Amino acid sequence: MIQSSRKDLETVIKATQSADLLRQDLQAMVSADNPFLSEYALDWLQAFVPIEKKLRHFQEMMDADFGHEA
């Protein structure tokens, strides 16, 4: 694997944290009173979850490169 810099790791950590916040907001929107908003939020959530999982996985790999626990 290509060695990443600490700056790269910090960027991925920030993106992973932001992704987690977005997922939480989308989950809350699924319960919206407006049925259209709820339906769209569910679609967005289903499309977004795989992206969040990939970010988390990538962060875990980078953490391992730097000797951190995931």
Mean pLDDT value across residues 4-10: 89
Evaluate whether 47 touches 26 at the Cβ level (below 8 Å): no
Evaluate whether 19 touches 55 at the Cβ level (below 8 Å): yes
Instruction: Tell me the pLDDT tens digit for each residue of 16-64.
Output: 999 999 999 999 999 999 999 999 999 999 999 999 999 999 999 998 8
C-alpha distance across the termini of the chain, in Å: 17
The 10 Å Cβ neighbour count of residue 42 is 15
Mean pLDDT value across residues 5-10: 91
Instruction: Kindly indicate the confidence band of residue 15, based on its pLDDT and cuts at 50, 70 and 90.
Output: very high
Looking at residue 70, what is its pLDDT? 47
Looking at residue 67, what is its pLDDT? 76
Domain boundaries of the chain, sorted by first residue: 6-65
pTM: 0.79
